Amino acid sequence: MNISISQDTKNKGFLMNVFGPMFAGKSSTAMRQGTIFKSIGWKVLCIRIADDTRYDLNKMTTHDGMSMDAIIAVDLRDVHKKYANPETDMMPYDCIIIDEIQFFNPVTTIDICRLWRKKGVFVICTGLDLDKDRTWWPVSLELNRFKDDVIFLKAYCMHCKEAPAPFTWCLNANSDKKDIGGADKYMAVCGHCYDVLLEERAAIQKLKIGC
């Protein structure tokens, strides 16, 4: 899926959110768009969360191995301070892609994304809309208030393998909310399978309590 742009859009800035469960192709979608932007001469910067150490720290990498050069950050304010013109706040990039947006600081992330958009940057934020409990991630929810456009992607259910999957199921019932991982920890599931798995987990917990 390619994002429709215009010269007017570029000059004004743009905030695009690419949301969905794990394994839905969010990062791939953003990287494909970044490649298109590069082909027309745009300067593109990719940012990934420093906590994710699964892959090359200098690459934004998908589950299937697709990658693009990237920098790591803990807080987007640090990126702005390093690259922006201190007098104008202008960034030397036409497009900035932020991967795994849900893990960044909610307050500063919103402020910086809105500033970059205001300064004419095409900002693409990819990440989970919902956590493992089907609750909105604070950053994703707040970003959705200010987006110019949003793409909601779905994976395909890894449990029944018969339906689109808008949810992420955590294999470990006691996992922390921010537990970075791949297929070893999570699977994308449809609504029916999520409910079935939830009932099964509740039944197992009930049996343990009764022992």
Point out the residues that are catalytic: 100
Q: What is the DSSP letter of 75?
A: -
Q: What is the Rg, in whole angstroms, of the alpha carbon atoms belonging to the chain?
A: 18
Give the C-alpha separation, 27 to 102, whole Å: 13
Burial class (CB in 10 A: 0-12, 13-18, 19+), 143: buried
User: Among all chains, which residue has been given the structure tokens 């919902």?
Assistant: 130
- Tell me if residue 156 falls in helix, strand or coil: strand
Angle in degrees, CA 147, 48, 44, rounded to 5: 70
- Give the C-alpha separation, 35 to 46, whole Å: 11
Q: What tokens were used for 112?
A: 């910086």
